[in-house]
């Protein structure tokens, strides 16, 4: 599929999704959000894609924020619709994708950009990365899940400080906060993402999908995550991957999982 605002490449069981608006520092507009929705959905449905890596084009920005020019004159109702539709189309889709998503944060990840990175299953960053939620400096608040996912990742106090000051943290501070898992040079960012993807791909994609569902259940209102874990654990026993994994272990060989 041809996209205007993103590029999609498939190689070695990895789908690479790159936001490609360098002149706008890869800012998210409605068209880009729609294209990302389609790309993530397609990757999840592709039986050969075992990991998705999301990044931004160029070396300045992952995503520098939302495209403010699109909503500067919005009413209350249009503002609500913007946030609700964005969460439904992209951010919740990424967070709940059955295929693992690694965000490779290169440069600025601000506002909607940080929200997109936080929706990924985990994040790695280049040492020149800067992250923040500057929305209150514009008289608005994060609307794509930022007020919910940031406290989950860094704790309430740090999240409150980051949101209220509208300040940025650098890559090492983000690592200290637990906002990213690893920091490396810009040159080594993609090789590190691929190395982590390689480790993931040795394991059962069926079991990983179940684990994602179980972990995410802990953050859903009214859902008992322990019960979801029990259910997903039980379901694992009925899969070909379980048969292969246990047989391989007992026979002292490496498993060859069937895949999605």
Q: Give the CATH number of the domain where residue 53 resides.
A: 3.90.226.10
Q: Which residue among 9, 35, 135, 244 is the active-site one?
A: 135
**Structural domain of 239:** 205-250
Is 151 inside a domain boundary? yes
Q: How far is CA 154 from CA 39, 48, 118, 126, 243, in A?
A: 29, 34, 11, 19, 38
pLDDT of residue 157: 98
Regions of the chain with pLDDT less than 50: none
Give pLDDT tens digits for 157-191.
999 999 999 999 999 999 999 999 999 999 999 99
**Same domain? 103 vs 137:** yes
**Same domain? 124 vs 225:** no
Q: What is the 3-state composition of the chain as percent helix, strand, coil, each rounded to the nearest 5?
A: 50, 15, 30
**Same domain? 135 vs 223:** no
Give pLDDT tens digits for 80-103.
999 999 999 999 999 999 999 999
pLDDT of residue 67: 85
**Same domain? 150 vs 226:** no
134 close to 246: Cβ distance less than 8 angstroms: no
**Same domain? 49 vs 158:** yes
Residue 256 bears catalytic tag: no
**Same domain? 98 vs 39:** yes
Is 224 inside a domain boundary? yes
Q: Which two tokens stand for residue 117?
A: 């990175």
Stated pTM of the model: 0.96
**Same domain? 197 vs 229:** no
pLDDT of residue 66: 87
Is 129 inside a domain boundary? yes
**Same domain? 35 vs 60:** yes
pLDDT of residue 147: 98
Residue 194 bears catalytic tag: no
pLDDT of residue 1: 80
**Same domain? 154 vs 171:** yes
pLDDT of residue 120: 98
**Same domain? 116 vs 225:** no
Residues in the chain: 260
40 close to 90: Cβ distance less than 8 angstroms: yes
Is 53 inside a domain boundary? yes
Residues of the chain with pLDDT > 90: what percent?
95
**Same domain? 175 vs 246:** no
pLDDT of residue 228: 97
Is 147 inside a domain boundary? yes
Q: How many domains does the structure of the chain reveal? A: 2
Q: Which residue among 115, 187, 188, 231 is the active-site one?
A: 115
pLDDT of residue 70: 87
pLDDT of residue 260: 78
**Same domain? 156 vs 41:** yes
pLDDT of residue 115: 98
């Amino acid at each position: 599929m041809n996209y205007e605002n993103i590029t999609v490449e498939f190689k070695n069981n990895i789908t690479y999704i790159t936001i490609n608006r360098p002149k706008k520092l890869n800012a998210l507009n409605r068209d880009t959000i729609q294209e990302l929705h389609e790309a993530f959905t397609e990757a999840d449905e592709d039986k050969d894609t075992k990991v998705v890596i999301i990044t931004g084009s160029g070396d300045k920005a992952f995503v520098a924020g939302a495209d403010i020019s699109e909503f500067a004159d919005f009413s209350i109702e249009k503002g609500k619709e913007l946030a609700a539709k964005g969460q439904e189309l992209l951010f919740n889709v990424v967070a709940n994708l059955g295929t693992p998503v690694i965000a490779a944060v290169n440069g600025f990840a601000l506002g909607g950009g940080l929200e997109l990175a936080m929706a990924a299953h985990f994040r790695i960053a280049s040492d020149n990365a800067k992250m923040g939620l500057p929305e209150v400096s514009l008289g608005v608040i994060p609307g794509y899940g930022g007020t919910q996912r940031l406290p989950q990742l860094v704790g309430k106090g740090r999240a409150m400080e980051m949101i209220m000051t509208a300040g940025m943290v650098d890559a090492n501070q983000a690592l200290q906060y637990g906002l990213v898992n690893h920091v490396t040079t810009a040159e080594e960012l993609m090789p590190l993402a691929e190395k982590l993807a390689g480790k993931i791909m040795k394991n059962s994609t069926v079991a990983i999908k179940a684990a994602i569902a179980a972990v995410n259940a802990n953050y859903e209102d009214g859902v008992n995550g322990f019960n979801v874990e029990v259910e997903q654990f039980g379901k694992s026993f009925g899969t070909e991957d379980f048969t292969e994994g246990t047989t391989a272990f007992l026979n002292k060989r490496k498993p060859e999982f069937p895949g999605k």
